[in-house]
Amino acid sequence: MSSKYSALKQECYEANMELNALGLVVYTFGNVSAVDRENKVFAIKPSGVPYEELKPEDMVIVDFDNNVVEGECRPSSDTKTHAYLYKTWEHIGGITHTHALYSVSWAQSQRDIPIFGTTHADHLTADIPCAAPMSDELISGNYEHNTGIQIVDCFKEKNLDSKEVEMVLVGNHGPFCWGKDAAKSVYNSRVLEEIAHMAYLTLQINPNAPRLKDSLIKKHYERKHGKNAYYGQ
């Protein structure tokens, strides 16, 4: 594979294969992209290609205006959403979208995922937001581009920081996650699915389960992410 984007394609390929290995996708559902900020392009999974058939060279290079720069295949149908998020949030380096079971179930319920426990607080201090279902006007327009607007508007409405909250549920659709690179966006997708599963079971056991108290939220988040963090080596 000889290309100036070989490393970017490899990063994207490995992230997509990890998404499959983690059981977050079924058949061809889901996609990961990886960005090259210097060249203002990103690599993304080709549309509708089974994971077992993917090769690094199959990854499609697209610019932030959704023009294919390099690749023989059509890019993911969600490409315009990725492009909008990359243009809007310049700090993100990778994006993952899945149709994972519990994450999608919460999205279909149109509910934020409450912060019930310390597993959730280890990763973020807020409920995982669910964006309101898209309006008919946006659906009939540039749908995938407008999904990006839907996500960004949700963060504005809920006063959330996309640097801290690296995941969202799109109402009646499913989850999008991001991170400093493609691998971190996949990691966040797996974390989201686990938290979604735990929250579902929590409400089955106790429909009136309370949110985690603020002192525990602060303690668990700051021990991993605060200025005096002491988790890990």
Residue at token pair 């994972």:
100
The catalytic position among 122, 143, 181, 200 is 122
Q: Residue 102 in 3-state DSSP?
A: helix
What crossing angle do the helices spanning 6-21 and 182-205 adopt, rounded to 10°?
Answer: 20
Q: How far apart are CA 223 and CA 138, in angstroms?
A: 41
Please indicate whether residue 58 is annotated as part of the active site. Answer: no
Please check whether residue 64 is in contact with residue 30, taking contact to mean a CB–CB distance below 8 angstroms.
no
Which residues, at least 6 apart from 116, have a Cβ–Cβ distance to it below 8 Å? 198, 199, 202, 209, 211, 212
Please check whether residue 95 is in contact with residue 187, taking contact to mean a CB–CB distance below 8 angstroms.
no
Please indicate whether residue 122 is annotated as part of the active site. Answer: yes
Catalytic amino acids? 122, 231
